[in-house]
Amino acid sequence: MISPCWFTVIASQFLSSTTVAFTPLAVSHNNIYQMTSSSFSESSTTQHPCAVVANPPCTKDAKAVIFDIDGTLANSWRLGYDATVVVLQKNDLGHVPINEEIYHQTCVYPTPERLARTAGLQPGDDNFEEMGETLGAQFDEYYVQLVSLATCEFYDGIASMLSNLPSTVQLGALTNACVAYGYAVLKVNTDETSNSLKYDRFGSIHGADSVPAAKPNPDGLLVSAKELNVEPKDCIYVGDAIGDGKAARAAGMMSIGVTWGSNSEDKLRDAQVFDYICRTRDELQELLPQASTNNES
């Protein structure tokens, strides 16, 4: 039986004269089933309002959900921005232009590359990698030390949304920051709060320094899927950056972009790398697997 994920067959007007055939058709990386008919060509589907691709995958049946952290789970951009300013000043780079817009634009890169670019260097410059590693190490140390609920608290509704995922659905996190930062943010937002979400609910946590290659490469997501013992096609990756969508697509995962982080809805739509784009946490929760009231407390 084919699950009517985000479409409804409007067939009543055809019942007396038309036989509708459903033929499985592999589409892209999601193995989506497409409805076809030998008797009519008029579209009879209703697209989910958050969908940005034709025939989007059914996210409700996912076996694992993996999240980006900054700008997706945690409202932490100010912490990253302030830490960047401190590192630049510490290295006599206080003259380098930096503002919120520049910070968000460079957040698509792993920390060493982001800071080297912010310092005015470009890939291929003689000391690009050396400068990036130096600034990145200082940033990571400062960044992790400043993690608290005051600097990187989960957005409203995130903790309850994660708590409401069925216990059978695996949960993971992948950030382009260092893995120690990922540990710290998730720890302070779970076991150190009064909400019901526990740190050990995350079966896989990784950063750019704990996987073979950072996003937009798929390596981190593939490592996460393997640790969660779930096939990539059965995973959803949720993120706020174009690189998140690119990584998910390259890994063969379903993808959901969110607009409350570093990028606008228009920018995410124009990139054409996500299956869905959500403006609110309610929209995101509606797309995720939900606990059954009969089986889950």
Torsion angle, CA of 291/53/154/203, rounded to 10 degrees?
60
235: closest CA among 73, 63, 72, 69?
A: 63
pLDDT in tens, 163-173: 999 999 999 99
User: Is 70 exceeded by the pLDDT of residue 181?
Assistant: yes
What is the rounded distance in angstroms from the CA atom of residue 132 to the CA atom of residue 136?
Answer: 6
**Residues found in the chain:** 297
What is the rounded distance in angstroms from the CA atom of residue 282 to the CA atom of residue 40?
Answer: 37
Q: CA of 261: how far to CAs of 64, 105, 157, 173, in Å?
A: 22, 12, 15, 16
Report the pLDDT value the prediction gives residue 107, as an integer from 0 to 100: 85
What is the rounded distance in angstroms from the CA atom of residue 27 to the CA atom of residue 20?
Answer: 20
User: Is 50 exceeded by the pLDDT of residue 16?
Assistant: no
pLDDT in tens, 109-140: 889 999 999 999 999 999 999 999 999 999 99
pLDDT in tens, 184-238: 999 999 988 878 899 999 999 999 999 999 999 999 999 999 999 999 999 999 9
For the residues 41-58, what does the mean pLDDT come to?
78
The residue with greater pLDDT, 295 or 211, is 211
Pull the structure tokens for residue 258.
């969110």
**Parallel, antiparallel or unpaired: strands 21-24 and 276-278:** unpaired
The residue with greater pLDDT, 129 or 42, is 129
Pull the structure tokens for residue 91.
């290295």
Report the pLDDT value the prediction gives residue 192, as an integer from 0 to 100: 81
**Bond into 289 cis (ω within 30):** no
DSSP SS3 for 29: coil
pTM of the entire predicted model: 0.80
**Parallel, antiparallel or unpaired: strands 21-24 and 33-36:** antiparallel
User: Is 80 exceeded by the pLDDT of residue 50?
Assistant: yes
